[in-house]
Amino acid sequence: MADPLSIIFAAFSPINLGLALAGVLAGTIIGALPGLSATMAIAVLVPFTFVMEPASGLIMLGAIYTGAIYGGAFAAILVNTPGTPSAIATTFDGYPMARRGDGDLAVTLATIASVFGGLVGAILLITLSPSLAKLALAFQSTEYFWLAILGLTLIATLSQGNVLKGMIGGMFGLFLSMIGVAVIGGDVRFTAGLPAMMGGIDIVAALIGLYCIPVLIGMVADAGRHLEPAPARGFRFFEALTIALRDWLNLLRSSVIGTLVGILPGAGGSIASLIAYAEARRASPRADNFGKGEPGGILATESANNATVGGGFIPTLVLGIPGTPPDAVIMGALMVQGIRTGPALFQGGDGTVYVFMVGLLIATLLMLPTGLVVGRYAFRFIANVPKAMLVPLIAYMTIVGSFAIHSNPHDVLVMVVMGLIGWLAARAGYGASPIVLGLVLGQIAEQGFMRAWMIGGARGDFMGQLLLDRPISWGIVALIAVTLFMPLLRLRRARRLVVADRPGDAAIMGGGGGHSPRRIDLPGLIGAAFFILLGLVIVLQSQQLSTLAAAFPLTVGIAMILLSGLQVLRSLRGGGTDSLEASTDDGTGRGLVLALTMLAWAVIFPHLGMFTTSIAACVILMLTGQFGPLRGLRLLVYLLGILVMVSAFYLLMVRVLNIPMPVGLLF
């Protein structure tokens, strides 16, 4: 191993500092744009690192990675659309803060939490890599199944008083993850005979649609401002720092959670941020404020998901098992540079890997000034841009971002359709996050379930393999049980308080002998009926599959039917509050115009070309988002702005990221 002093000097060299700063800035911008993932950015830039010194190239890639994870918070806070799956939980409190005019404070809180979590993850990476890697080896397929179920139950219980709707949404997400070729068995499932669906539903495309489209419909359905304008208050750094110091235990706990979850290959920041958020809410004296703009929620999610960066490198470097796709790309870059990962990596060599680790620390620190500057102007820009320009801007980013994932027009159509499904589901109280988490965790859950099925079947003891023979599984199942029962205990406690304070209101909450009859939850009832039918379809079609391909869908279908049946009873009784993300905007003709425009855009652009159709669609959306007359100079400025915007993003994709755009009959 090289001398520690020489490692520090190498990491702090001017060239490495410059590359770290450039990587953080590029990663932050990429992470904030839906569809442009850290994996894409790293994969595009890997060839350029081959002409650099190995440590310099790896520092730049690591800086892009950590910046992209952090950048996902910008879109989550400002437009309620997580730039990356790990920022899903950031939308819960970040967007409500932005709506009330505290978006600048929310971004600064996210920056402080991201830096703190990233530092904890990087420090543990440097100091405890071999020891923590043993924890990853202790987890087997059974534990990964229960870990995925834990993630689903966490997001379900965060659906503010309606765990059933959250669980049903999670089951729907699991169903979406099963579309295409079965991960075990190889059968083609639930494609409705469409060859384009054999590849399944892309997670990022679905995420963009489920979060972006409902926000856009809400924007054009309401003449009010999308965000409350805020006076120029600087970075609000010391205000945010005071909040963070007051909640230091939440920051530290969430960072440790993120690191520990990060070392589990495939788990990722989405599970880490949800576990940290749920734990922060459980331990907070302000638990009722979570989901309404509570700073502690942002501190928990952003510290956890950024800590997973350092945690994810632990199995990558120590075991040679990449925890995430970006880790896999960086591991490939290591191998090209002649650096072999594994236990021997830390026993000798020239210290390149340690220079990379210290460089990751530097990149994390550089997120603070970068994030503060970018965040300040990003919030002011989003808050002050008129809807007539913001709606086409976000819509264009969703179209281009969805196409950029695989350069496949099918992903764009999937994005729009999933967005419309998400909007309809939100109207009935079925939030987007359980659906997305089911889709994200579906393959992990199915692989763990089926491996336990096969091993247990060979031993003649499936339930023993799935549950009884694994002490780690006992702990995770216990957490699941606590997670599911905690909302019921809180509800019972709330009812007791009502009985003690206002006995006359107890009947209304409890449902017995009340003077005010409960109103049937009709949207929830319709949604539950739909999911019962879908569950029946899943069960019936599973009969035509092989045993290996049918076992998991059959389980999901039966669970969906049972949960939806309970929801039918609950809806008939009038029980069914909106989920955490249920839409409150009325659908109008403008919303219908936006939905039809996005759908036509997704269908037509492969034939007529991206540039021309984007100009036409953005003009229609500009007029849809404009309330009041639009004439003369302002109309000209808006049209010129659309031309510049479309041209800039088009050139970015074609010239910088080398993504070929469809030309079609027109340009």
Number of separate domains in the chain: 1
Is residue 433 within 8 A of residue 226, CB to CB? The reply is no
**Residue 321 — pLDDT band, cuts 50, 70, 90?**
low
Whole-angstrom Cα Rg for the chain: 25
How many angstroms separate the CA atoms of 128 and 125, rounded? 6
Q: Which amino acid is at 18?
A: G
Angle among Cα 476, 478, 480 to the nearest 5 degrees reads: 70
Return the minimum-mean-pLDDT range out of 175-184, 227-236, 411-420. Answer: 227-236
Report yes or no on 397 lying in a domain: yes
- Given a cut of 50, whether residue 52 has pLDDT beyond it is yes
Q: Which amino acid is at 357?
A: M
What is residue 255's predicted lDDT score, i.e. its pLDDT?
Answer: 93
Domain span at 109: 4-228+238-466
59 burial (CB, 10 Å; 0-12 / 13-18 / 19+) is buried
**Residue 514 — pLDDT band, cuts 50, 70, 90?**
very low
Give pLDDT tens digits for 596-650.
Answer: 999 999 999 998 888 889 999 999 999 988 887 777 788 899 999 999 989 988 8
Report yes or no on 248 lying in a domain: yes
Q: Is the dihedral of CA 532, 541, 210, 370 positive or negative?
A: positive
Mean pLDDT of 380-395: 83
How many angstroms separate the CA atoms of 530 and 524, rounded? 10
Mean pLDDT of 570-599: 69
Q: Which amino acid is at 389?
A: M
Return the minimum-mean-pLDDT range out of 7-11, 44-48, 156-160, 645-649. Answer: 156-160
- Given a cut of 60, whether residue 506 has pLDDT beyond it is no
Instruction: Name the most confidently modeled range: 182-196, 226-240, 319-333, 637-651.
Output: 637-651
What is residue 176's predicted lDDT score, i.e. its pLDDT?
Answer: 93
How many angstroms separate the CA atoms of 402 and 63, rounded? 24
Hey, what are 531's tokens?
């999911």
Of the two residues 479 and 157, the one the predictor is more confident about is 479
Report yes or no on 529 lying in a domain: no
Give pLDDT tens digits for 140-154.
Answer: 667 777 777 777 777
Of the two residues 645 and 204, the one the predictor is more confident about is 645
Report yes or no on 402 lying in a domain: yes
Residue tagged 């980013």 (tokens): 397
How many angstroms separate the CA atoms of 552 and 386, rounded? 48
Mean pLDDT of 207-233: 75
Percent of the chain past pLDDT 70, that is, above it, reads: 79
Give pLDDT tens digits for 345-374.
Answer: 665 555 777 888 888 899 999 999 988 888
**Residue 513 — pLDDT band, cuts 50, 70, 90?**
very low
Report yes or no on 175 lying in a domain: yes
Report yes or no on 554 lying in a domain: no
What is residue 35's predicted lDDT score, i.e. its pLDDT?
Answer: 57
How many angstroms separate the CA atoms of 400 and 629, rounded? 30
Of the two residues 632 and 267, the one the predictor is more confident about is 632
Angle among Cα 70, 408, 438 to the nearest 5 degrees reads: 55
Report yes or no on 534 lying in a domain: no
**Residue 85 — pLDDT band, cuts 50, 70, 90?**
confident
- Given a cut of 90, whether residue 551 has pLDDT beyond it is no
- Given a cut of 80, whether residue 384 has pLDDT beyond it is no
Mean pLDDT of 293-309: 91
Report yes or no on 566 lying in a domain: no
- Which H/E stretch holds residue 257? helix 248-262
Question: How high is the mean pLDDT of the chain?
Answer: 80
What is residue 343's predicted lDDT score, i.e. its pLDDT?
Answer: 60
Q: How far is CA 375 from CA 29, 367, 394, in A?
A: 11, 11, 17
Q: Which amino acid is at 2?
A: A
Q: Which amino acid is at 38?
A: A
Return the minimum-mean-pLDDT range out of 185-189, 299-303, 315-319. Answer: 315-319
Mean pLDDT of 152-171: 75
What is residue 615's predicted lDDT score, i.e. its pLDDT?
Answer: 93
Of the two residues 427 and 509, the one the predictor is more confident about is 427
What is residue 271's predicted lDDT score, i.e. its pLDDT?
Answer: 79
What is residue 510's predicted lDDT score, i.e. its pLDDT?
Answer: 45
What is residue 578's predicted lDDT score, i.e. its pLDDT?
Answer: 45
How many angstroms separate the CA atoms of 502 and 17, rounded? 63
Hey, what are 590's tokens?
């403008």
- Given a cut of 80, whether residue 319 has pLDDT beyond it is no
What is residue 653's predicted lDDT score, i.e. its pLDDT?
Answer: 78
- Given a cut of 50, whether residue 511 has pLDDT beyond it is no
Mean pLDDT of 194-216: 85
- Given a cut of 60, whether residue 502 has pLDDT beyond it is no
What is residue 248's predicted lDDT score, i.e. its pLDDT?
Answer: 92
CB neighbours (10 Å) of residue 414? 24
Residue tagged 């500009």 (tokens): 622
For the chain, the farthest-separated pair of C-alpha atoms sits apart, in whole angstroms, at 78
How many angstroms separate the CA atoms of 297 and 284, rounded? 10
Is residue 265 within 8 A of residue 136, CB to CB? The reply is yes
- Given a cut of 70, whether residue 498 has pLDDT beyond it is no
Q: Which amino acid is at 11?
A: A
